[in-house]
Each structure stands twice: as structure tokens, then as C-alpha cells.
Amino acid sequence: MFYHAKKNWELPSSAVTPERVFLNRRETLLGLGASLIPLGAYAEEAIKTADLYPAKLNETYKLDRPVTPEKINQTYNNFYEYTTDKRVNADMLRIRPWTVTVGGMVEKEKTWDIDDLIRTIGVEERLYRHRCVEAWSMAIPWSGFPLRTLVEQAKPLSSAKYVRFETFLDKKMAPGQRSFMAWPYVESLTMAEATNDLAFIATGAYGKPISKVQGAPIRLATPWKYGFKSIKSIVKISFVDKMPETFWANTGPTEYGFWANVNPDVPHPRWSQASETDLTTGSRRPTLLYNGYGEQVAALYKGLEKQPLFM
């Protein structure tokens, strides 16, 4: 997020050029044409739960802005396992077979086949805002299930205080993992955060299984927090009693901390968080405390107000 020669908050060409022109130019340059949004699947990567999408929309979660066009969403990503550029090619990511181990302080550890997990819990669609710490934002139609359902399935012990999430580690499949950073990518939530209504496990987006660049086959979506909390391509979920060390806290300790709640009043050490570039329109908009989800999450942080919530 910050090991970039170019300033990350600079507008992408999609934001300053009408979308149609931008896409035509990209397609011509890259020869991508109609395959601009492939799942990038290998022949053996049949997704046995593809029939579950598009999922029924859960109307509780309303947007205050239009959904970001899929083509913009697919061509402006952060996935450091592949590149530090915004234009990610994650075709090398093999998403089937895929297992997720749910363990640590639980009654009984379980390793799920991803499609068994998705079919067992089922999926719904939710429209969420998405705000990156780099001061850009989108609005995304995720499909998946509440993290709370998975927590309940796992039966954590009462002594568990945090949920720790870990991305795969495979330097052959993810060349970016050969860099100096603190791989694998790890993120964490408190138990109260993980069981909040908004905490969502995304297995789909835009009415189909989630794409590789978005963190297939399973990622987190915590829309009141900066995007770096929303860990992609999860293989392990553990319940623990100590605050876990996270990828960004280890890789950039002076910049990226545990709480990471969207907060316009707490600037990043190198830029303001008061406003953001809406990638759908290319224009700036004021940033909202908790990304506008205060009603659902503010109570989680009562008594913590004096803590540097960003750091």
C-alpha cells in the first residue's frame, strides 16, 4: 500500500476519462476484449457452488451511491501477493481445490472444502461501501454470508478474544510473496467485531463467484474499516486470546494498526483521510466516520474513543 513510487491516491485513468473511452482504450492496448473479466480459471477449477449466484439481495444494507461498475472494480485492486500495482493479474491463483481450516480455541477444529462450506451456510447479496486507506472508494455487490454464522458453527471457547485470518502462502503461485514483506497476509478482528451484523465473508461479487483479483475463493468484507482489514484468499481462521500480529502492523508498523476504523479526523501520517476519490465518478467526496456505518458499529468502540483508532 505504501511501497509505491507513484502516489496511490492519484486518480486512475478510469476516474478522469469517461468509462467507455477508458475501457475501449484498455481493451485495445491489452488485447483483452470481451475477456476483460475472466475468473481466470484453470480447467480443473470447476466451482461446484456457481449455481448459488446471483444470490438474493438482503435489502437491509442500503447504499448512498451507485454500485461501482464491475469493470472498474476488476481493474483497480490491491493484491500484493501478485503486484504492488493497481492492475492485478492473479490468474496464477488456483482456487480449487481449496480448504479453509477453522480452529484454535474452538470445541473441535474443522477443515472445510470451500464448496461444502459455502453450500452449508448459503449465500446472500449485500451492497457495501469499500474505503481503502489510500483514500479511494467503491460500492460493491458482495455475495456470501455473515461471519457470525461461521463463528457460531465453529463454537469458540469463551476464552477466545480475537479471530485471526490468514491468506495462503505459496511463493510459486504468488510471486509477490518473494518480497521482503511479512508473509503470509494476516488480519484480525475482536470477537465483538467478528460477530457484528456487518462483518461479512464474501465468496461472490457482481452476481457470480468472486474473481481472483478480488481474493477468490473467500475473503473478508468489513466496510466500516479500511480495506486492508478485508483479507483475501483465506485458508485459515483461528480463535485466539492474544491480539494477533497482522501483516501491515509488521510490514509498516508506523502506519497501519489494529483498529483501522474509517475516520476522517485521524489523518494517515502522510495524507489526509478527510475525503476520498469515489472511483465510480472520479470525484472527491467527504469521508464518513466508520464509512457511514456508525449506527451499526459505534457501540463496539465505546470507551476506546481516546485510542488512535486508525493506528
- In angstroms, give the least distance from the CB of 197 to ligand MTE: 21
Q: Which three cell numbers stand for residue 112?
A: 472445510
Q: Which stretch binds ligand MTE (CB under 6 A): 62-70, 143-151, 228-236, 262-270?
A: 228-236
Q: Which of residues 240-299 bind ligand MTE (CB under 6 A)?
A: none
* CA nearest neighbour of 223 among 150, 290, 300: 290
The DSSP bridge partners found for residue 276 are: 285
Residue 164 in contact with residue 193, Cβ under 8 Å?
Answer: no
Residues 187-226 within binding reach of ligand MTE (CB under 6 A): 214-215
Which of 276, 93, 70, 265 has its CA nearest to residue 168? 93
Which residue type does 131 have? R
Question: Out of 81, 115, 166, 278, which residue is the one contacting ligand MTE (CB under 6 A)?
Answer: 81
The mark string for 8-37 relative to ligand MTE (x by CB under 6 A, - otherwise) is ------------------------------
Q: Which is nearer to ligand MTE, 209 or 215 (CB)?
A: 215
For CA atoms 255, 262, 131, 238, the dihedral sign is positive
- Count of residues for the chain? 311
Q: For the chain, first and last CA: distance in Å?
A: 15
Which one of 142, 183, 185, 224 is in contact with ligand MTE (CB under 6 A)? 185
Nearer to ligand MTE, 156 or 211 (CB): 211
Compute the distance between CA of residue 284 and CA of residue 262 in angstroms, rounded to an integer.
16
Residue 228 as a binder of ligand MTE (CB under 6 A): the answer is yes
- In terms of CB distance, is 185 or 239 closer to ligand MTE? 185
For the record, the C-alpha cell of 194 comes out as 467478528
- Site size for ligand MTE (CB under 6 A): 18
Binding site for ligand MTE (CB under 6 A): 1, 77-81, 130, 132, 167, 185, 214-215, 227-228, 230-233
